[in-house]
Structure 1
Amino acid sequence: MQDLVIRTIKAEDVDAVQNFLMRQLKDLFAHEGQSAITDDVWGLKKTYLEPPNCNMWGVFTPAGEVIGTAAVCAYNDRIALLKGCYAAGTTAEIGRCYIDKRLRRRGIGSELVKKITEFCIEQGYFVMYLHTHRFLPGGFNFWEKQGFKITVDEAGIAEIVHMEKLLL
């Protein structure tokens, strides 16, 4: 962790971050019946860099290789199962939190969550929402350790678990 740099991604990082994310998605969502929507990946600047209440962080090696990411955007009531559960403007959605599998379990993800939490508080969010999948290596357990609580466990083939953390 000592040689790694965690910082907000810049326009010049977008290609490298997109390539990292696509590798992660291909590796993690390669199960039969699984797919990951990638509109936000291809629209990183519009989704995470341009809106003032959104952000994306990258974890970079000294050589400039992207080995981790995490993002925050305003939750937009996009998930049918959760319609009306979260107030507009006060709920942040956490996403695209991935660490290269060679470097997991070294505290990098926890450092990203600290950055995310600080940002969410600064932006006036009251709740951090995310969804994860039970089949992701360490995903659900990681978020539980970060203080997120289950709101809905969908189970099924996608093994989706919706979680939140209150910031008040």
Structure 2
Amino acid sequence: MELIHKSWTIRKLTADDVSQALAFIIPMLHEVYPNIPDVAVRWDLSHMAEAYTQEARSTMFAAFDQDGSVVGTIAIRPYDDRIEHVKGCYDVDRTAELSRCYVAGSLRRQGIAGTLVAAIEDYSRQVGYTAICLHTHRFLPGGYPFWLSRQYNNRVIGQDDLDTVYMDKALG
């Protein structure tokens, strides 16, 4: 699947795209979470090809500008019931966890994030997921209102230092 816009193209990440996607994601993480020094030390990032191009029912979509640079990402993996605040809330065989949704600051509010979400939701339905869960933080500029606008519902509003909100959406 490939979605073409006049200024960007969205498609599934391939193993050949991993280094370019990491070159986009790592600086985004440091920009968004400047007070978390190890924010980029995560299994899915150190094993990106395995996590998003080889595992069943997992994928990452990326938005590429006209020069071929990654300017946005979004990922989905099977939810593994690891998050204490929502433990037991989801059917782990049919729930996907959405993550790695980032868009370059200069390109926000141009429809990239909405198109990425639509692509990942379509993919999720195709591979048999009936729900998507995610977590965001209310301090992120535009993040929480964006997910509400995409019909994601609050599951738990955390009382932690990062002001975490756990959200989900049933896929129709």
- TM-score of the pair, normalised by structure 2: 0.92
Number of residue equivalences:
167
SS at 1:157 equivalent? coil
SS at 2:158 equivalent? strand
User: Per-residue displacement from partner, 1:53-108 (whole Å, max 9, x unpaired)?
Assistant: 11101110121111000001000111122221111210010000000001001110
Match of 1:38 among 39, 42, 52: 42
Q: Is the 8 A contact 2:151 2:169 kept in 1?
A: yes
SS at 1:165 equivalent? strand
Deviation at 1:52, TM superposition (A): 2.1
C-alpha distance in 2, partners of 1:74/1:92? 4
Calculate the aligned-residue CA RMSD, in Å: 1.4
Match of 1:106 among 83, 107, 110: 110
Q: Is the 8 A contact 1:151 1:162 kept in 2?
A: yes
Deviation at 1:39, TM superposition (A): 2.0
Cα distance change on mapping 1:162 and 1:69 into 2, 3 Å: same
Structure 1 ranges of 4+ moved more than 3 A: none
Q: Is the 8 A contact 1:55 1:71 kept in 2?
A: yes
- TM-score of the pair, normalised by structure 1: 0.94
SS at 2:125 equivalent? helix
Match of 1:53 among 41, 57, 69: 57
Q: Does 1:87 align with 2:97?
A: no
Structure 2 unpaired stretches of 5+: none
Task: State the identity as a percent.
Answer: 34
Q: Is the 8 A contact 1:29 1:35 kept in 2?
A: no
Deviation at 1:35, TM superposition (A): 5.4
